[in-house]
DNA sequence: TATTGTTATACTCTATAACTATA
DNA sequence: TATAGTTATAGAGTATAACAATA
Protein backbone atom coordinates (compact mmCIF):
# COMPACT_ATOMS: atom_id res chain seq x y z
CA UNK A 1 0.00 0.00 0.00
CA UNK A 2 1.58 3.23 -1.20
CA UNK A 3 0.52 6.36 0.60
CA UNK A 4 3.77 8.23 0.15
CA UNK A 5 2.00 11.07 -1.68
CA UNK A 6 -0.16 11.76 1.37
CA UNK A 7 2.67 11.61 3.87
CA UNK A 8 4.09 14.84 2.49
CA UNK A 9 1.10 16.77 3.89
CA UNK A 10 1.04 18.01 7.44
CA UNK A 11 -2.76 17.87 7.41
CA UNK A 12 -2.70 14.15 6.65
CA UNK A 13 -0.24 13.35 9.42
CA UNK A 14 -2.27 15.45 11.85
CA UNK A 15 -5.39 13.46 11.04
CA UNK A 16 -3.52 10.20 11.50
CA UNK A 17 -2.04 11.23 14.83
CA UNK A 18 -5.41 12.39 16.08
CA UNK A 19 -6.68 8.81 15.89
CA UNK A 20 -4.24 7.94 18.66
CA UNK A 21 -4.73 11.00 20.86
CA UNK A 22 -8.51 10.67 20.62
CA UNK A 23 -8.37 7.07 21.71
CA UNK A 24 -6.03 7.98 24.57
CA UNK A 25 -8.33 10.79 25.69
CA UNK A 26 -11.52 8.76 25.68
CA UNK A 27 -9.91 5.83 27.45
CA UNK A 28 -8.40 7.88 30.28
CA UNK A 29 -10.58 10.97 30.62
CA UNK A 30 -13.52 11.26 28.24
CA UNK A 31 -15.10 7.93 29.04
CA UNK A 32 -14.59 7.78 32.83
CA UNK A 33 -15.53 11.42 33.47
CA UNK A 34 -17.98 11.90 30.60
CA UNK A 35 -16.08 14.79 29.05
CA UNK A 36 -15.53 15.66 25.42
CA UNK A 37 -12.09 16.84 24.36
CA UNK A 38 -13.31 20.41 23.96
CA UNK A 39 -15.05 20.34 27.32
CA UNK A 40 -11.84 19.17 28.95
CA UNK A 41 -9.84 21.98 27.33
CA UNK A 42 -12.43 24.53 28.32
CA UNK A 43 -12.55 23.44 31.96
CA UNK A 44 -8.76 23.44 32.25
CA UNK A 45 -8.66 26.92 30.78
CA UNK A 46 -11.26 28.13 33.28
CA UNK A 47 -9.26 26.66 36.15
CA UNK A 48 -6.21 28.72 35.17
CA UNK A 49 -8.04 31.87 34.06
CA UNK A 50 -10.78 32.69 36.52
CA UNK A 51 -13.57 34.92 35.27
CA UNK A 52 -12.43 34.95 31.65
CA UNK A 53 -14.96 36.32 29.15
CA UNK A 54 -16.60 34.16 26.49
CA UNK A 55 -14.87 36.29 23.91
CA UNK A 56 -11.48 35.41 25.39
CA UNK A 57 -12.36 31.73 25.53
CA UNK A 58 -13.53 31.74 21.93
CA UNK A 59 -10.31 33.35 20.74
CA UNK A 60 -8.06 31.04 22.73
CA UNK A 61 -9.78 27.84 21.64
CA UNK A 62 -10.51 29.03 18.09
CA UNK A 63 -14.22 28.57 18.64
CA UNK A 64 -16.97 30.42 16.83
CA UNK A 65 -19.25 32.20 19.33
CA UNK A 66 -22.29 30.00 18.56
CA UNK A 67 -20.31 26.86 19.31
CA UNK A 68 -19.00 28.24 22.56
CA UNK A 69 -22.52 29.20 23.61
CA UNK A 70 -23.85 25.67 23.22
CA UNK A 71 -20.73 24.22 24.84
CA UNK A 72 -21.15 26.45 27.91
CA UNK A 73 -24.89 25.79 28.04
CA UNK A 74 -24.18 22.07 28.35
CA UNK A 75 -21.60 22.56 31.10
CA UNK A 76 -23.90 24.99 32.92
CA UNK A 77 -26.71 22.43 32.83
CA UNK A 78 -24.37 19.94 34.48
CA UNK A 79 -23.56 22.45 37.20
CA UNK A 80 -19.88 22.65 36.28
CA UNK A 81 -19.64 26.33 35.29
CA UNK A 82 -21.68 29.48 35.73
CA UNK A 83 -21.87 32.75 33.85
CA UNK A 84 -22.31 36.23 35.29
CA UNK A 85 -22.65 39.62 33.64
CA UNK A 86 -19.60 41.84 33.94
CA UNK A 87 -20.12 44.93 36.11
CA UNK A 88 -18.20 47.25 33.83
CA UNK A 89 -19.65 46.04 30.50
CA UNK A 90 -23.00 44.31 30.62
CA UNK A 91 -22.48 42.72 27.20
CA UNK A 92 -19.67 40.60 28.62
CA UNK A 93 -20.31 37.24 30.28
CA UNK A 94 -17.62 36.21 32.75
CA UNK A 95 -17.33 32.44 33.13
CA UNK A 96 -16.24 30.59 36.26
CA UNK A 97 -16.03 27.05 37.54
CA UNK A 98 -18.50 26.04 40.21
CA UNK A 99 -17.11 24.08 43.21
CA UNK A 100 -18.34 20.92 41.50
CA UNK A 101 -16.64 21.98 38.30
CA UNK A 102 -13.37 22.64 40.12
CA UNK A 103 -13.55 19.21 41.68
CA UNK A 104 -14.13 17.55 38.31
CA UNK A 105 -11.25 19.45 36.70
CA UNK A 106 -9.03 18.19 39.48
CA UNK A 107 -9.92 14.59 38.74
CA UNK A 108 -9.69 15.14 34.98
CA UNK A 109 -6.27 16.74 35.29
CA UNK A 110 -4.97 13.80 37.31
CA UNK A 111 -6.40 11.29 34.85
CA UNK A 112 -4.95 13.22 31.91
CA UNK A 113 -1.42 13.26 33.30
CA UNK A 114 -0.69 9.79 31.96
CA UNK A 115 -3.22 9.53 29.14
CA UNK A 116 -0.73 10.04 26.30
CA UNK A 117 1.93 7.78 27.78
CA UNK A 118 1.46 5.05 25.18
CA UNK A 119 2.28 7.62 22.50
CA UNK A 120 4.97 9.48 24.46
CA UNK A 121 6.89 6.26 25.04
CA UNK A 122 7.64 6.08 21.32
CA UNK A 123 9.93 9.09 21.74
CA UNK A 124 12.87 10.23 23.81
CA UNK A 125 12.11 13.07 26.22
CA UNK A 126 13.92 15.48 23.90
CA UNK A 127 12.01 14.28 20.85
CA UNK A 128 8.67 14.62 22.62
CA UNK A 129 9.43 18.17 23.70
CA UNK A 130 10.60 18.99 20.18
CA UNK A 131 7.45 17.54 18.64
CA UNK A 132 5.26 19.67 20.89
CA UNK A 133 7.32 22.77 20.17
CA UNK A 134 7.38 22.30 16.40
CA UNK A 135 3.67 21.53 16.38
CA UNK A 136 2.87 24.63 18.39
CA UNK A 137 4.46 26.78 15.71
CA UNK A 138 2.06 25.31 13.14
CA UNK A 139 -0.93 26.61 15.09
CA UNK A 140 -2.73 29.95 14.72
CA UNK A 141 -0.49 32.95 15.16
CA UNK A 142 -2.14 34.77 18.03
CA UNK A 143 -3.93 32.54 20.52
CA UNK A 144 -2.65 34.53 23.52
CA UNK A 145 -4.96 37.45 24.13
CA UNK B 1 -4.22 34.14 29.05
CA UNK B 2 -2.60 31.05 30.54
CA UNK B 3 -3.03 27.86 28.57
CA UNK B 4 0.25 26.28 29.63
CA UNK B 5 -1.57 23.29 31.11
CA UNK B 6 -3.06 22.43 27.73
CA UNK B 7 0.15 22.85 25.77
CA UNK B 8 1.56 19.75 27.40
CA UNK B 9 -0.94 17.59 25.52
CA UNK B 10 -0.25 16.37 22.01
CA UNK B 11 -3.98 16.19 21.36
CA UNK B 12 -4.38 19.89 22.09
CA UNK B 13 -1.53 20.92 19.80
CA UNK B 14 -2.89 18.67 17.06
CA UNK B 15 -6.28 20.37 17.25
CA UNK B 16 -4.65 23.80 17.13
CA UNK B 17 -2.49 22.92 14.14
CA UNK B 18 -5.46 21.49 12.28
CA UNK B 19 -7.05 24.93 12.21
CA UNK B 20 -4.24 26.04 9.93
CA UNK B 21 -4.04 22.96 7.72
CA UNK B 22 -7.80 22.97 7.25
CA UNK B 23 -7.78 26.59 6.18
CA UNK B 24 -4.89 25.89 3.80
CA UNK B 25 -6.68 22.90 2.31
CA UNK B 26 -9.99 24.65 1.71
CA UNK B 27 -8.34 27.73 0.24
CA UNK B 28 -6.16 25.82 -2.24
CA UNK B 29 -7.97 22.57 -2.95
CA UNK B 30 -11.26 22.02 -1.14
CA UNK B 31 -12.95 25.21 -2.27
CA UNK B 32 -11.77 25.40 -5.88
CA UNK B 33 -12.24 21.70 -6.66
CA UNK B 34 -15.13 20.98 -4.29
CA UNK B 35 -13.29 18.25 -2.41
CA UNK B 36 -13.37 17.42 1.28
CA UNK B 37 -10.09 16.54 2.98
CA UNK B 38 -11.03 12.88 3.17
CA UNK B 39 -12.13 12.80 -0.46
CA UNK B 40 -8.79 14.26 -1.49
CA UNK B 41 -6.89 11.63 0.52
CA UNK B 42 -9.02 8.87 -0.92
CA UNK B 43 -8.56 9.97 -4.53
CA UNK B 44 -4.80 10.31 -4.11
CA UNK B 45 -4.67 6.84 -2.62
CA UNK B 46 -6.65 5.43 -5.54
CA UNK B 47 -4.30 7.08 -8.00
CA UNK B 48 -1.31 5.29 -6.46
CA UNK B 49 -3.03 1.97 -5.69
CA UNK B 50 -5.20 0.94 -8.61
CA UNK B 51 -7.95 -1.55 -7.86
CA UNK B 52 -7.50 -1.51 -4.10
CA UNK B 53 -10.32 -3.12 -2.10
CA UNK B 54 -12.59 -1.11 0.18
CA UNK B 55 -11.20 -3.11 3.05
CA UNK B 56 -7.68 -1.92 2.22
CA UNK B 57 -8.85 1.67 1.90
CA UNK B 58 -10.65 1.53 5.21
CA UNK B 59 -7.57 0.20 6.99
CA UNK B 60 -5.19 2.71 5.43
CA UNK B 61 -7.36 5.74 6.16
CA UNK B 62 -8.62 4.47 9.52
CA UNK B 63 -12.19 4.61 8.31
CA UNK B 64 -15.07 2.53 9.59
CA UNK B 65 -16.69 0.57 6.75
CA UNK B 66 -19.98 2.51 6.90
CA UNK B 67 -18.17 5.82 6.51
CA UNK B 68 -16.18 4.56 3.56
CA UNK B 69 -19.36 3.31 1.90
CA UNK B 70 -21.03 6.72 1.99
CA UNK B 71 -17.81 8.45 0.96
CA UNK B 72 -17.46 6.20 -2.11
CA UNK B 73 -21.15 6.53 -2.94
CA UNK B 74 -20.73 10.29 -3.15
CA UNK B 75 -17.65 10.05 -5.37
CA UNK B 76 -19.36 7.44 -7.54
CA UNK B 77 -22.34 9.75 -8.03
CA UNK B 78 -19.96 12.46 -9.21
CA UNK B 79 -18.45 10.03 -11.70
CA UNK B 80 -14.99 10.15 -10.14
CA UNK B 81 -14.64 6.49 -9.08
CA UNK B 82 -16.29 3.19 -9.87
CA UNK B 83 -16.53 -0.11 -8.04
CA UNK B 84 -16.40 -3.60 -9.50
CA UNK B 85 -16.74 -7.01 -7.90
CA UNK B 86 -13.54 -8.98 -7.61
CA UNK B 87 -13.40 -12.08 -9.83
CA UNK B 88 -11.75 -14.25 -7.20
CA UNK B 89 -13.92 -13.20 -4.23
CA UNK B 90 -17.30 -11.74 -5.00
CA UNK B 91 -17.58 -10.15 -1.57
CA UNK B 92 -14.71 -7.80 -2.44
CA UNK B 93 -15.29 -4.47 -4.19
CA UNK B 94 -12.26 -3.20 -6.13
CA UNK B 95 -12.25 0.58 -6.47
CA UNK B 96 -10.76 2.54 -9.37
CA UNK B 97 -10.64 6.11 -10.61
CA UNK B 98 -12.64 6.93 -13.71
CA UNK B 99 -10.90 9.01 -16.40
CA UNK B 100 -12.68 12.05 -14.98
CA UNK B 101 -11.51 11.12 -11.50
CA UNK B 102 -7.93 10.75 -12.69
CA UNK B 103 -8.11 14.16 -14.30
CA UNK B 104 -9.46 15.74 -11.10
CA UNK B 105 -6.76 14.08 -8.97
CA UNK B 106 -4.20 15.55 -11.30
CA UNK B 107 -5.52 19.06 -10.78
CA UNK B 108 -5.93 18.50 -7.04
CA UNK B 109 -2.40 17.21 -6.71
CA UNK B 110 -1.01 20.27 -8.49
CA UNK B 111 -3.08 22.63 -6.34
CA UNK B 112 -2.03 20.81 -3.16
CA UNK B 113 1.68 21.08 -3.88
CA UNK B 114 1.85 24.60 -2.46
CA UNK B 115 -1.17 24.61 -0.17
CA UNK B 116 0.78 24.32 3.09
CA UNK B 117 3.48 26.81 2.10
CA UNK B 118 2.29 29.45 4.56
CA UNK B 119 2.84 26.95 7.37
CA UNK B 120 5.97 25.35 5.95
CA UNK B 121 7.69 28.73 5.70
CA UNK B 122 7.70 28.95 9.49
CA UNK B 123 10.30 26.16 9.53
CA UNK B 124 13.66 25.31 8.04
CA UNK B 125 13.63 22.44 5.57
CA UNK B 126 15.18 20.17 8.19
CA UNK B 127 12.63 21.18 10.84
CA UNK B 128 9.72 20.57 8.49
CA UNK B 129 10.98 17.10 7.59
CA UNK B 130 11.55 16.37 11.27
CA UNK B 131 8.06 17.51 12.20
CA UNK B 132 6.51 15.21 9.59
CA UNK B 133 8.67 12.29 10.70
CA UNK B 134 7.98 12.75 14.42
CA UNK B 135 4.29 13.18 13.75
CA UNK B 136 4.16 10.04 11.64
CA UNK B 137 5.41 8.02 14.60
CA UNK B 138 2.46 9.25 16.67
CA UNK B 139 -0.01 7.72 14.22
CA UNK B 140 -1.55 4.23 14.26
CA UNK B 141 0.99 1.43 14.26
CA UNK B 142 0.01 -0.50 11.15
CA UNK B 143 -1.43 1.60 8.36
CA UNK B 144 0.50 -0.27 5.66
CA UNK B 145 -1.41 -3.36 4.71
C1' DT C 1 -21.49 51.83 14.36
C1' DA C 2 -19.10 48.18 16.63
C1' DT C 3 -18.96 44.40 19.98
C1' DT C 4 -20.81 40.42 22.85
C1' DG C 5 -23.42 36.79 22.86
C1' DT C 6 -27.61 33.89 21.21
C1' DT C 7 -30.61 31.09 18.07
C1' DA C 8 -31.11 28.24 14.23
C1' DT C 9 -29.01 25.51 10.93
C1' DA C 10 -25.74 22.88 8.14
C1' DC C 11 -21.40 20.41 6.93
C1' DT C 12 -17.59 17.11 8.02
C1' DC C 13 -15.60 13.41 10.43
C1' DT C 14 -16.26 9.58 13.44
C1' DA C 15 -18.67 5.75 15.79
C1' DT C 16 -21.98 1.63 16.72
C1' DA C 17 -25.70 -1.68 15.78
C1' DA C 18 -28.05 -4.53 12.72
C1' DC C 19 -28.21 -6.36 8.37
C1' DT C 20 -27.07 -8.85 3.52
C1' DA C 21 -24.03 -11.48 0.70
C1' DT C 22 -20.41 -14.26 0.12
C1' DA C 23 -16.63 -17.45 1.67
C1' DT D 1 -18.23 -19.30 11.38
C1' DA D 2 -15.92 -15.48 9.59
C1' DT D 3 -15.32 -11.59 6.28
C1' DA D 4 -16.78 -7.59 2.96
C1' DG D 5 -19.79 -4.31 2.49
C1' DT D 6 -24.40 -1.70 3.35
C1' DT D 7 -28.12 0.85 5.83
C1' DA D 8 -29.58 3.64 9.49
C1' DT D 9 -28.40 6.51 13.12
C1' DA D 10 -25.88 9.25 16.48
C1' DG D 11 -22.04 11.91 18.54
C1' DA D 12 -18.49 15.53 18.10
C1' DG D 13 -16.23 19.49 15.93
C1' DT D 14 -16.74 23.40 12.91
C1' DA D 15 -19.00 26.92 9.99
C1' DT D 16 -22.42 30.88 8.50
C1' DA D 17 -26.53 33.93 8.73
C1' DA D 18 -29.65 36.55 11.30
C1' DC D 19 -30.63 38.51 15.50
C1' DA D 20 -30.85 41.00 20.45
C1' DA D 21 -28.56 43.65 23.78
C1' DT D 22 -25.15 46.80 24.98
C1' DA D 23 -21.40 50.06 24.22
3-state secondary structure chain A: CCCCCHHHCHHHHHHHHHHHHHHHHHHHHHHHHCCCHHHHHHHHHHHHCCCEEHHHHHHHCCCCHHHHHHHHHHHHHCCCEEEEECCCCCCCEEEEECHHHHHHHHHHHHHHCCCCHHHHCCCCHHHHHHHHHHHHHHCCCCCCC
Do the Cβ atoms of A137 and B123 come within 8 Å? yes
Do the Cβ atoms of B116 and A10 come within 8 Å? yes
- Per-residue model confidence (pLDDT) at position A141: 82
**Closest Cα in chain A, distance from residue B77 (Å):** 24
Do the Cβ atoms of B14 and A3 come within 8 Å? no
B56 contact residues in A (CB cutoff 8 A)? 1
Q: What is the pLDDT of residues B40-88, one digit of tens each?
A: 999 999 999 999 999 999 999 999 999 999 999 999 999 999 999 999 9
Q: Which residues touch strand D (CB under 7 A)?
A: A 36-39, 62-64, 66-67, 89-91; B 15, 18-19, 22-23, 53-55, 58, 65-66, 68-70, 72-73, 83, 89, 91-93
Band of pLDDT at residue B145, cut at 50, 70 and 90: very low
A102 contact residues in B (CB cutoff 8 A)? none
Q: What is the pLDDT of residues A82-107, one digit of tens each?
A: 999 999 999 999 999 999 999 999 99
**Closest Cα in chain A, distance from residue B3 (Å):** 6
Amino acid sequence: MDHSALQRFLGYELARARVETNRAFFDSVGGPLQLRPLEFSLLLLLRDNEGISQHGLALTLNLRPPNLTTLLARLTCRGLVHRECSDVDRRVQRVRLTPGGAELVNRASKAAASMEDSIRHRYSAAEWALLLELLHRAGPANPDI
